[in-house]
């Protein structure tokens, strides 16, 4: 009797598992797509740039050239090991706000 009940339980579980994974499709109405054009202008810092420097299209110095790398300003406060400004200090935070 135990064998029959066990086989019936296995069969019942097998049938329920096959019908449990059915997928249903939901009809979605197409949404209207509105093309939004934003005109964003990048903030370009106005620095005193030497006449011989090479510029990118947006007017910023092209840092691939050695004469432009010399123009790079060092941070006011302490630096991290990689040379970037350590933002835990007030002097570096103020300099970042101004830029």
Question: Looking at the domain assignment, is residue 66 inside a domain?
Answer: yes
pLDDT tens across 46-89, in order? 554 556 678 888 888 888 888 877 766 676 788 888 888 888 98
Q: What is the pLDDT of residues 11-47, one digit of tens each?
A: 888 777 666 655 667 777 777 766 666 555 444 445 5
Q: Is residue 94 part of a domain?
A: yes
What is the rounded distance in angstroms from the CA atom of residue 19 to the CA atom of residue 51? 76
Position 38 in a domain: no
Residue 41 resides in a domain:
no
Residue 7 falls within a domain, yes or no? no
| Number of folded domains that form the chain | 1
Residues 6+ apart with CB under 8 A from 58: 42, 44
In a domain, residue 37? The reply is no
The verdict on residue 45 lying in a domain is no
Is 83 within a domain? yes
- Rounded CA gap, 19 and 34, in Å? 41
Domain that holds residue 85: 52-99
pTM of the model: 0.29
């Amino acid at each position: 009797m135990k064998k029959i009940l066990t086989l019936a339980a296995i069969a019942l579980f097998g049938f329920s598992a096959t019908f449990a994974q059915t997928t249903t499709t939901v009809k979605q109405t197409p949404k209207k797509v509105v093309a939004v054009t934003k005109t964003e202008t990048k903030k370009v810092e106005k620095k005193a740039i030497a006449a011989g420097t090479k510029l990118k299209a947006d007017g910023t110095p092209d840092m691939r050239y050695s004469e432009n790398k010399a123009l790079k300003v060092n941070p006011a406060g302490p630096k991290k090991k990689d040379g970037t400004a350590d933002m835990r200090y007030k002097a570096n935070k103020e300099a970042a706000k101004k830029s």
